[in-house]
Amino acid sequence: MAGLCEGRVCIVTGAGRGIGREHSLMLAAEGAKVIVNDLGGSRDGTGTDRGPAQEVVDEIIAAGGEAVVNTDDISDWAGAERIIQQAIDTYGRLDVLINNAGILRDRMLTNMSEAEWDAVIKVHLKGTAGPAHFAAAHWRDRSKAGETVDARIINTTSPSGIYGNIGQTNYGAAKGGIASFTIIAADELARYGVTVNAIAPAALTRLTADLGIGDAPEEVKEAMSVKWIAPIVVWLASEESRGVTGRIFDVRGDLLAVSEGWHQGPKVTNVLDPSAVGPLVEELMNGARPNADMLGNDRV
């Protein structure tokens, strides 16, 4: 029986550990050919190590799958172009790009350095835009050449980006940008046969290790396992998902939800006199839904 992604060529960035590793293994198990990208850096993005990506590739090959290593820096425009070209050179095509790579440099806004801001924005936001740019150009060219394209971009946002989390103005801004990027890119690329979606995962990984989950009871660890994240991503990577685009999926444990974006709330007639604005804002606030907490529920 053919797998859900049989023969599809997939790139997974940040695939050496955690969520990306799980994506890669499940994609390969479902018949995909996988380019396993990982710079091999530490949690804060420093350093390099080919080992993690190579271990994932070795595991896929040992199980009878197909995979190759890529260690390019996806936050570098040239590196992003190389990873797309490697997929084409190795397997003759590209069908799916999964932007998963990320780092953390958490800090309260009052204490955050320029370097901490720039590094997180670069890896997450530019590291999503670069690979997506070169992948989209590849699919546009194939579409204009008369080929039927059925391609996917799957981005990784975060509850911090769509709901907000203290101490993560850099990370949340980058992840919120990725959510907006997803919606706009979906509209732009539909004409070429490309869908663009994103997930907002919550799981126990080395990026969340300092949240105390590592000391939690086993049932909590099980509920926060990375194994829960990959199924929606593999399905989105498949041909079955061609009717779904521009959506953000909130996934943690056995919860899977669609995260609904900004909508215009209560309305009043605007005025030109600033002294008359206060009562209007009070009316708006009394009718407005509170912002969400990190679980996507109304804050209390």
- Predicted local confidence at residue 50, as pLDDT: 82
User: What is the CA 173 to chain-centroid distance, rounded?
Assistant: 14
Residue 52 falls inside a structural domain? yes
Alpha-carbon 244 to chain mean position:
16
Give the residue from 143, 172, 181, 156 showing the smallest Cα distance to 22: 156
CA distance 226 to 253: 8
Distance CA 181, CA 107 (A): 24
**Are both 214 and 271 inside the same structural domain?**
no
Cα(295)–Cα(252) distance, integer angstroms: 10
Amino acid sitting at position 270: N
| Residue 1 belongs to a domain | no
Section 155-160 average pLDDT = 96
Residue 185 sits in the same domain as residue 282: no
CB 156 within 8 A of CB 100: yes
Claim to verify: residue 140 and residue 212 sit in the same structural domain: yes
Closest CA to 97 of 106, 105, 88: 88
**Domain span at 298:** 265-300
Determine the pLDDT at residue 173. 97
CA atoms within 13 A on the CB side of 141: 8
Examine the residue annotation and report whether 171 is marked as an active-site residue of this protein: yes
Q: Is residue 21 part of a domain?
A: yes
- Which of 1-5, 140-144, 206-210 is predicted with the least confidence, judged by mean pLDDT? 206-210
* Total domains in the fold of the chain: 2
The verdict on residue 3 lying in a domain is no
pTM: 0.92
- Active-site option among 91, 163, 171, 192: 171
